[in-house]
């Protein structure tokens, strides 16, 4: 968006103290009229103003239509409007204070926006969903769960939500209390809501399960994973039919055996192995790849002998049936909470001088892996991108690197085909881990759900300040091309463009543009939000490129940036890393 077109934007700020969804700046876009404050009901509250736009602004759209931009999860867009030469002209086109729009919006937002045909869909902690006109910020609709349902969310210990899926005229989201929701894409009205426990017995808050992940839509199915691995639940991946939310697979893909079987024969727990981030799906082969979390109890492994497959693994299954294709483990018999937490990526990349389809993933272990997509044959094993030292935990406590927040936590990587680089968001933070002496001590039933930490984490080393990194790995050689240091741990992830830029946020509320080839940050913007714990959606409207971000902390907001937008934003926020066990 060039400077002359900046007038199409509208700026929403909390300081305006408006209940309306949008208010214009000097020259608001046509139709950018304020909409009514959302109602506090369990159904959608579409914009009630009679002058609210019947359709979105713009006529030609290039989308960011799923969690990872494409089903490969590359988070790399082909849009060329924002370049190294003009990135300095980026500013806020509009921003929405989500707590102003609804007082029940919770802190700690981690939503990855999805933009489809000019509408930006944003979910919130506490499971509200907003649909905004992506160019004006006008609220199109808003949905929130009933108050009596939301009152139960505190049982989970975490109420984050990382986004929605769009398909077949519906918007799909998951709720903390383990329900799958389908909303009408145009109106936000509830189409159907089903408890996951209808299809998978025992998937309830009381049993330690909850849902924070973004679902994925593909070929008539909605794919979901499980959160709550640190609670000792039995992890799974499952598919539901988008048409009626009935099961699409005969049974879930269970990531660990049933309680009392195999390596859980002598365990009091259900094994862990949650799948708490979205899968990647190869649309050419219909094979789906997902990362699996740590076994439970976290730091006590005496009663779960052996490697504990498929925990800390990337698993490939047939998307249509859930049938296993292959599985590769990153950490055997994990005692350090080293989930394969972030979503895998499917790449068509140059590897050892030849083009090859591969699957890559960076673990909380601080190591990065690559496998042949068809066979699972190892290509690059355990490429380090963080400080690594993990002695076996003891009851007295040991210092380990990385701590339980990373290497790479849930924050997604991006792939730039021009340089053949994968960019990894990292967390540099040591932590003391204390192991339980026995199963009774490993269990912590006084905490929400059925927690099985086994038993505790302590502070990091005295005098060390946690920080973040962005590491570029050359996929051809499997070696580090460069690494930059960031002030705070990287909790949001990256999105890259065909113009050689990668955008990412920080926990002090800044967003940045990185020149991928040189590894230099060439643009920084201080938002008025507390912190950024997600990566942007990059999309176009009528040929102009925009960035859609959300911020979290105590100031959950939605932003759209474009060329020529407002550059006068708020003060730096305070870093807030959230829960150590952020499944």
CATH number, domain at 349?
Answer: 2.140.10.10
DSSP state of 382: E
Question: Is residue 31 situated within a structural domain?
Answer: no
**Ordered DSSP codes for 146-193:** -HHHHTTGGGGS-------EEETTEEEEE-TTSEEEEEETTT--EEEE
Question: Is residue 470 situated within a structural domain?
Answer: yes
CA dist 431 and 215 (Å) reads 32
CA dist 370 and 447 (Å) reads 37
Question: Is residue 25 situated within a structural domain?
Answer: no
The answer to which of 133-137, 152-156, 166-170 has the lowest mean pLDDT is: 152-156
Burial of 519-542, coded b for 16+ CB within 10 Å and e otherwise, reads bebebebbbbbbbbbbbbbbbbbe
DSSP state of 439: H
Q: Is the pLDDT of residue 571 over 80?
A: no
The two three-digit tokens of residue 49, written as one number: 């103003």
Question: Is residue 538 situated within a structural domain?
Answer: yes
Model pLDDT for residues 195-245, shown as the tens digit of each residue: 999 999 999 998 889 999 999 999 999 999 999 888 889 999 999 999 999
Model pLDDT for residues 367-400, shown as the tens digit of each residue: 999 999 999 999 999 999 999 999 999 999 999 9
Domain that holds residue 553: 61-563
Model pLDDT for residues 339-361, shown as the tens digit of each residue: 999 999 999 999 999 999 999 99
Question: Is residue 12 situated within a structural domain?
Answer: no
Question: Is residue 317 situated within a structural domain?
Answer: yes
The two three-digit tokens of residue 511, written as one number: 């967003």
By CB neighbour count within 10 A (0-12 exposed, 13-18 middle, 19+ buried), where does 259 fall? middle
For residues 255 and 237, the answer to whether their CB atoms sit within 8 Å is yes
The rounded radius of gyration (Å) of the Cα atoms in the chain is 22
pLDDT at 273: 97
pLDDT at 451: 65
The two three-digit tokens of residue 495, written as one number: 């999105």
- Cis upstream peptide for 310 (omega within 30°): yes
C-alpha dihedral over 83, 87, 91, 95, to 10 degrees?
A: 50
- DSSP H helical ranges for 349-445: 439-442
Residues 6+ apart with CB under 8 A from 201: none
For residues 259 and 251, the answer to whether their CB atoms sit within 8 Å is no
Say how many domains are in the chain: 1
Question: Is residue 27 situated within a structural domain?
Answer: no
Give the residue with greater pLDDT, 557 vs 441. 557
Question: Is residue 47 situated within a structural domain?
Answer: no
For residues 170 and 162, the answer to whether their CB atoms sit within 8 Å is no
């Amino acid at each position: 968006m060039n400077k002359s077109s900046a007038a199409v934007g509208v700026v929403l700020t909390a300081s305006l103290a408006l209940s309306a969804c949008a208010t214009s700046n000097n020259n608001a876009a046509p139709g950018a009229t304020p909409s009514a404050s959302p109602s506090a009901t369990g159904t959608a509250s579409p914009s009630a103003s009679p002058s609210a736009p019947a359709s979105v602004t713009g006529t030609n759209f290039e989308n960011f239509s799923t969690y990872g931009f494409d089903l490969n999860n590359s988070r790399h867009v082909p849009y060329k409007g924002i370049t190294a030469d003009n990135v300095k002209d980026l500013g806020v086109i509009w921003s929405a204070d989500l707590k102003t729009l609804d007082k029940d919006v919770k802190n700690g937002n981690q939503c990855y926006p999805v933009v489809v045909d000019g509408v930006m869909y944003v979910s919130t902690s506490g499971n509200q969903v907003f649909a905004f006109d992506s160019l004006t910020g006008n609220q199109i609709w808003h949905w929130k769960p009933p108050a009596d349902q939301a009152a139960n969310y505190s049982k989970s210990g975490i109420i984050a939500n990382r986004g929605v899926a769009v398909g077949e005229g519906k918007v799909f989201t998951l709720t903390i209390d383990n329900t799958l929701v389908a909303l009408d894409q145009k109106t936000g009205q509830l189409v159907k809501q089903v408890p996951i426990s209808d299809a998978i017995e025992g998937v309830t808050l009381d049993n330690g399960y909850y849902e924070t992940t973004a679902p994925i839509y593909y070929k008539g199915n909605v794919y979901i994973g499980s959160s709550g691995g640190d609670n000792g639940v039995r992890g799974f991946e499952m598919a539901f039919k988008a048409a009626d939310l009935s099961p699409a697979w005969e049974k879930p893909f269970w990531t660990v055996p049933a309680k009392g079987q195999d390596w859980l024969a002598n365990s009091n727990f259900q094994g862990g192995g949650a799948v708490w981030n979205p899968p990647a799906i190869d649309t050419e082969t219909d094979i789906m790849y997902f990362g699996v979390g740590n076994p439970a109890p976290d730091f006590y492994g005496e009663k779960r002998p052996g490697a504990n497959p498929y925990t800390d693994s990337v698993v490939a299954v047939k998307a249509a049936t859930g049938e296993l294709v292959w599985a590769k483990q990153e950490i055997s018999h994990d005692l350090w909470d080293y989930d394969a937490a972030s979503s895998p990526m499917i790449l068509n990349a140059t590897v050892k001088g030849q083009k090859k389809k591969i699957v890559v993933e960076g673990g909380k272990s601080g190591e990065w892996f690559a496998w042949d997509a068809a066979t699972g044959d190892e290509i690059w094993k355990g490429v380090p991108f963080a400080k690594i030292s993990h002695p076996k935990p003891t009851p007295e406590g040991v210092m380990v690197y990385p701590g339980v927040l990373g290497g790479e936590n849930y924050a997604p990587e991006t792939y730039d085909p021009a340089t053949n680089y994968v960019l990894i968001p990292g967390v540099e933070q040591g932590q003391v881990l204390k192991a339980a002496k026995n199963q009774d001590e490993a269990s912590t039933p006084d905490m929400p759900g059925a927690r099985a930490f086994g038993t505790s984490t302590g502070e990091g080393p005295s005098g060390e300040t946690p920080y973040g990194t962005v590491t570029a790995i050359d996929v051809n050689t499997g070696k580090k091309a460069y690494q930059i240091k960031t002030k705070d741990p990287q909790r949001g992830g990256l999105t890259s463009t065909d113009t050689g830029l990668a955008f990412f946020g920080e926990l002090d509320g800044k967003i940045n543009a990185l020149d991928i080839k040189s590894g230099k940050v060439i643009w920084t913007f201080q938002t008025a939000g507390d912190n950024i714990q997600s990566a942007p959606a990059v999309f176009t409207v009528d040929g102009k490129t925009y960035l859609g971000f959300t911020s979290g902390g105590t100031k959950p907001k939605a932003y759209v940036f474009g060329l020529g937008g407002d550059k006068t934003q708020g003060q730096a926020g305070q870093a807030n890393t959230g829960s150590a066990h952020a499944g």
